[in-house]
Amino acid sequence: MKIVVDDKIPYIREKLAILADNVVYLRGSEIKADDVRDADALIVRTRTRCDEQLLAGSRVQFVATATIGFDHIDTNYMAHSGIYWTNCPGCNAGSVAQYLECSLLLLQQQKGLDLQRATIGIVGCGHVGSKVKAVAERMGMRVLVCDPPLEQAITHHSSPTTFVPLDVIEREADVITFHVPLSREGQYATWHLGNADFFHHLSRVPYIINTSRGGVVDNAALLQALEEGRVRDAILDVWEGEPNLNLDLLNRVFIGTPHIAGYSADGKVNADNMVIDALCQHFGLSHPGHILPPSLPADFKYTGSALDLYNPLIDSEKLKNDPSKFELLRNNYPLRREKL
């Protein structure tokens, strides 16, 4: 059995060596049709476009992306070709929630945001958004949630969440954070959900946070809104045109990081284990056992603050110092744990 794997997926090699006699590791953005022609399975991240151009004529019958998002997978082609595919929903939700918690603490410490008197608008309340909601409530914030697809799905069922339209968030939120998949078509398309009209409708000059997909927020419109004072400041982990960023926007935002909000070791291990589970189930393989995240260094000092475990300003400083290292910083991310 041959498996082709993105070489930046951590912690998974020992288990895959048990499962297959031929495992090839390649840079995700450089995986080509010739590389997968005789492969049975493909394990990727967001940098590999899985479509007809890559997979036509190959032996691949299983594709897994070790990510929540799957807009890099042509699902219509997969269905038409009989190729099984899977993503890892919720794998790094805790990691993104940690990123949000630490970012909110920094807004409080360095920008003077009074969290207990502030309203946060959460756009998208799935795996990630629901955890962010819990974090914000724990921090004493008033929470507004907008998620029309989810609201419609649970219309006839009781729900602890009260939903509001986006225009309520535009009027009442001091912080607006996006946690939606990227989609360009359909009733609930999210591409450029944060566009010029959205920014013109804002009432409270809020902070904008985007950790979902770069295209969810129109980067040019956000920069203009910042310059015009419609947005107080911004925290961006995802960007249009990654890894080629709008440098003016990068230099303008409070925190700008290289698409690593979900990059805790805990989140990566969750994804690895979900991939291994799916691989074993699909091919009828004996399970090699689950992976555990690595421990923090023995000299790690914890004072009780969430910022001890993670401070996104450190990642921001690295990216702002040298934006050309976007992919390098992302692909060589240091150990980060969500808990001790």
Is 171 a residue of the active site?
no
Report the distance separating Cα 84 and Cα 225, nearest Å: 43
Contact 140, 115 (CB under 8 A): yes
Nearest one of 62, 60, 109 to 87, comparing CA atoms: 62
Q: Clarify whether 213 is annotated catalytic.
A: yes
Token duo for residue 164: 């509001």
Residue 73 carries which side chain, given as an amino acid letter? I
259 is catalytic: yes
Distance separating alpha carbons of residues 198 and 142, to the nearest angstrom: 21
Tokens of 226: 């910042």
Q: Which of 72, 179, 192, 213 is catalytic?
A: 213
Q: What is the DSSP string of 89-116?
A: TTTTHHHHHHHHHHHHHHHHHHH---GG
**DSSP E strand stretches across the chain:** 2-6, 22-26, 41-44, 62-65, 84-86, 119-123, 142-146, 175-178, 207-210, 233-236, 255-256
Residue 193 tokens, joined: 């959900």
Cα separation, 107 vs 316, whole angstroms: 14
Three-state secondary-structure class, residue 18: helix
* Catalytic residue chosen out of the listed positions 47, 179, 259, 336: 259
Neighbours of 248 (CB within 10 A): 12
3-state SS class at 232:
coil
d(C-alpha 181, C-alpha 216), whole Å: 8
Task: Report DSSP letters for 65-86, one per residue.
Answer: ESSS--TTB-HHHHHHHT-EEE
Catalytic residue among 151, 172, 242, 327: 242
Which of 44, 41, 32 lies closest to 72 in space, CA to CA? 44
Known catalytic residues?
Answer: 213, 242, 259
